[in-house]
Amino acid sequence: MKARKTLNVEMLAVVARGLSGLKEKFVFVGGATIDLYLSDPTAAEARATDDVDCVVELARRSQYYGLEEELRGLGFKHSTDKDASVCRWEFHGIQVDVMPTEGGILGFKNRWYADGVAEAGTARLPDGQDVAVLTVPYLVASKIEAFLDRGKDDFLASPDMEDIVAVIDGCPELKGEVLRAPAELRSYLAERFKSFLADRRFVEAVHGHIRITEKGVDRVGRALAVISEIATAAA
Distance in angstroms (rounded) separating the CA atoms of residues 213 and 220: 11
Residue 217: inside a domain:
yes
Angle at 27 between CA 25 and CA 33, to 5 degrees: 150
**Residue 129 and residue 150 in one domain:** no
In a domain, 2, yes or no: no
Per-residue pLDDT at 156: 98
Q: Which of 8, 12, 15, 10 is nearest to 35 (CA)?
A: 8
Say yes or no: 47 and 71 in one domain: yes
- Which of the listed residues 84, 111, 134 is the one where a domain comes to its end? 134
Burial tier of 2 (Cβ tally within 10 Å: 0-12, 13-18, 19+): exposed
- The answer to whether residues 227 and 189 belong to one domain is yes
Select the more confidently predicted residue: 235 or 219: 219
Beta bridge partner(s), residue 117: none
Tell me the three state secondary structure of residue 128.
coil
Cα–Cα distance for residue pair 135/139, rounded to 1 Å: 6
- At 3, is the pLDDT very low, low, confident or very high (cuts 50, 70, 90)? confident
For 18-30, write each residue's pLDDT tens digit: 999 999 999 999 9
Residue 140 neighbours by CB distance under 10 Å: 28
Side chain identity, residue 58: L
Interatomic CA distance for residues 184 and 206, integer angstroms: 25
Number of domains in the chain: 2
Domain identity same for 163 and 75: no
Is the backbone of residue 172 left (phi > 0), alpha (psi -120 to 50) or beta? alpha
Q: Is residue 1 part of a domain?
A: no
- Residue 131 CA to residue 15 CA, distance in Å, equals 11
Report if residue 198 sits inside a domain: yes
pTM of the model: 0.96
Compute the distance between CA of residue 163 and CA of residue 31 in angstroms, rounded to an integer: 7
Tens of pLDDT, residue by residue over 141-198, are 999 999 999 999 999 999 999 999 999 999 999 999 999 999 999 999 999 999 999 9
* 98-154 confidence digits (pLDDT tens): 999 999 999 989 999 999 999 999 999 999 999 999 999 999 999 999 999 999 999
Q: Read off the pLDDT of residues 207-220 as tens digits, 9 standing for 90 and up.
A: 999 988 777 679 99
Angle at 149 between CA 147 and CA 154, to 5 degrees: 45
